[in-house]
Amino acid sequence: MFGGVLQFFAHNPLLLLFAVVAFGYPISKIRIAGASFGIASVLFAGIALGALVVAPDLDPVIKRDISKEMKLVYELGLAIFVYAMGLSIAHSFWAAFTREGLKKNLTVAIVMISSTALIVLLAKLMKFDSRYAAGLLTGSFTNMPALAGVIEAVKRTTNDAMVIAQPTVASAIAYPIGVLVPMLSIPFTRRLFKIDLQKEASGLKSYASGYSQLTAITVEVTEKGAGKTHVNIRRETPFKVVINRLRRNGQFILSPLDLVFEKGDLLVAVGPPEDVQGLAEYLGRESEVALQDDISVYDSTRIFVSKQRVIGRPLRELQLPEKHNCMITRLRRGDVWFVPNADTMLELGDRLRVAALKENITATEELFGDSYRELSEASFLTFAMGLAAGLALGQVPIPLGHGIIFKLGFAGGPLVVGLILGRFHRMGRFIWNIPYSANHTVRQLGLVLFAAGIGVISGEGFRKILSENLAWLPIFLGSALIVSVFADSVAYLVGHKVFRIPLNLMYGIVAGTHTQPVVLGYASQQTKNELPNVGFATVYPFATILKIVLAQALLVLAS
């Protein structure tokens, strides 16, 4: 019975693929002590089913068909994943080229380069070849794009399934260690450095890019606020607020940037609770009049952004108060609220709260689109164009000297193009970014397809390698433990002690160094704030690209 099921899977590779997903994905949701292996569970399920289905007595023609189909699946999945990821993190990547961002990424570079050197040393001492060494790096730092780059590089030199499986074997064994060690480092370093994380976070409000909630209050301008403008608020205070309208002498008006406040003005201020209270103290006091509830002249509406003409342009260019008699008071992207300013650029799928004249609500909705259908029609053309450009770039050979030829491949090429196109948002009529929800879904689908496909292909080699020499299991587990402990120790030493990066941010940097969302989630849970997300977003793109390069370099360095 069981053998018949395996034969059925072998003759139906597409069914096998989704059986892997069906088995592995539910396991990815199981949490033990607050942690899970995420999409890696699909990889493990693929290896297990691949080892069973691709049995030694299976027809070689069927084996070849399975390998061919799964290769297309994992290449497609990974290309989609990294391109969508590049689009989503482009803003954080380019924003990292500041003094603070460079320190964070320099920390990652020091960690990765020194860890690569350590893996070369371990390979020499324990006598495992360069393919295992490269897999050990990708597993210890839990990076599937880097693993894909290694497999692609290995396949350029051989068609031997056993050899091609070697990086995946080492990576799969090392992967759990690459998740657990950085997680355990968080409570350990908190005690070691004796840092009050909440107290440290209270002094780092300038790092916040989004908020879990925003509120609105009415501020009454007194003598100390009279004569001030929006420019004074921006230059003299740290408050991130929007003043959407005011009442002066009984008349309602939107609040233009050059308006000088007068004593007695009533302002509706929107922002984080602590910031709007701070603004009230700065300009005067909180009014007993709840002007934000007065909809006699101005009302607010929620609008979904789908119009191409408003995408990728700073709000100052749209001149909303001057030309359209409306103002964006808050913006929601994903699960986070943002306080918009003159430099904010709208993206497809953003949800806005807009204040406008009551009779102008319909025109305001038409201005931003508010159409799911229009949004869906605009996305696929540019997504395909960008992905095709990334795949083409990935095939360009890059000489590194000494006869070494490096290719970005179907992982690095789309990532680089995604980062570039995501930076510019639009080129003429082409909108490159896709909605947050669609991006997240596409990334998850791509990563699941990659993990399932590469797992099935590697299953046979995994079975053969461990059955012939079970000693590889403790060797790679021990090596991964050494590498992960060393890497995280260097990260905290260089980042926190040398560069004075706050520990709240360091936890995100460590998670980003391992490119591991599970570690990030645990860090946010332990710190009870969003600061680890800032560190993670700053280093994640650079860490991913660096691992793709270093993992392939290991194929030469450890040979």
Smallest CA-to-CA distance from 66 within 343, 458, 451 is with 458
Nearest residue to 176 via CA among 140, 146, 145, 151: 140
Which pLDDT band holds residue 37 (cuts at 50, 70, 90)? low
**Residue 373 in contact with residue 304, Cβ under 8 Å?**
no
Nearest to 88 by CA among 386, 305, 531: 386
The runs of H, that is alpha helices, within 127-240 are 130-140, 144-155, 161-193, 197-202, 230-236
Residues in the chain: 559
Residue 270 has pLDDT above 80, yes or no: yes
- Mean pLDDT of all residues in 258-268: 86
- Position 337 scores a pLDDT of 77
How confident is the model over 429-488, as pLDDT tens digits?
787 888 777 888 888 888 788 888 878 877 777 787 777 777 778 888 899 999 999 999
Closest C-alpha among 405, 443, 395 to residue 86: 443
Task: Say if residues 143 and 159 touch (Cβ distance below 8 Å).
Answer: no
pLDDT for residue 34 is more than 60: no
Q: Is 469 helix (H, G, I), strand (E, B) or coil?
A: coil
Per-residue pLDDT at 506: 93
Which structure tokens are listed for 456?
Answer: 């099935």
What lies within 8 Å, CB to CB, of 99 at 6+ separation is none
Q: What pLDDT digit, counting tens, does each position of 139-194 carry? A: 899 887 788 778 878 887 887 777 877 888 888 888 878 878 998 898 899 889 88
CA distance 5 to 8: 5
Task: For residue 468, give the nearest of 162, 100, 238, 65 by alpha carbon.
Answer: 162
Report the Cα 217 to chain-centroid distance in Å: 34
376 burial class (0-12, 13-18, 19+ CB within 10 angstroms)? middle
- Tokens representing 434 are 């896709």
Q: How far apart are CA 186 and CA 175, in angstroms?
A: 18
How far apart CA 79 and CA 411 sit, in angstroms, is 6
Q: Measured between alpha carbons, how far is 79 from 147 in angstroms, rounded to an integer?
A: 13
Residues 6+ apart with CB under 8 A from 119: 133, 136, 137, 140, 479, 483, 554, 558
What percent of the chain clears pLDDT 90, i.e. is strictly above it?
Answer: 13
CB of 279 closer than 8 Å to CB of 269 = yes
Note whether 397 and 352 are within 8 A (CB). no
Q: What is the mean pLDDT of the chain?
A: 82
With residue 270 as reference, give the H or E element that holds it: strand 266-271
Q: What is the pLDDT of residues 207-253, one digit of tens each?
A: 655 555 678 888 888 988 888 888 888 888 888 888 888 888 888 88
> Any idea what the Cα angle at residue 255 is, between residues 332 and 91, rounded to 5°?
35
Provide the H-helix boundaries in 258-402: 273-283, 315-318, 361-368, 372-394
Q: Is the pLDDT of residue 30 over 80?
A: no
Q: Give per-residue pLDDT as tens, 392-408.
A: 998 888 776 666 666 77
**Which of 498, 499, 505, 511 is closest to 544 using CA atoms?**
511
* Segment 53-111, tens digit of pLDDT: 877 777 788 878 887 888 888 888 888 888 887 887 777 677 667 777 888 999 999 99
Say how far apart CA 344 and CA 327 lie, in whole Å: 13
Which 3-state string (H, E, C) describes 388-440?
A: HHHHHHHCCCEEEECCEEECCHHHHHHHHHHHHHHHHCEECCEECCCCHHHHH
Residue identified by tokens 């909440």 is 198
Distance CA 446, CA 188 (A): 35
Q: Report whether 183 contacts 35 (CB < 8 A).
A: yes
Contacting residues for 141 by C-beta, under 8 A, at least 6 apart: 112, 115, 178, 487, 513, 514, 515, 543, 547
Neighbours of 260 (CB within 10 A): 11
Query: Measured between alpha carbons, how far is 341 from 315 in angstroms, rounded to an integer?
Result: 7
Q: Are 501 and 107 in contact (CB under 8 A)?
A: yes
Spell out the domains of the chain, with CATH numbers in brackets.
208-368 (3.30.70.1450)
pLDDT band with cut points at 50, 70 and 90 for residue 518: low
Q: Which residue has the tokens 């995994």?
A: 462
The one-letter amino acid code at 535 reads G
Tokens for 27? Answer: 């396991």
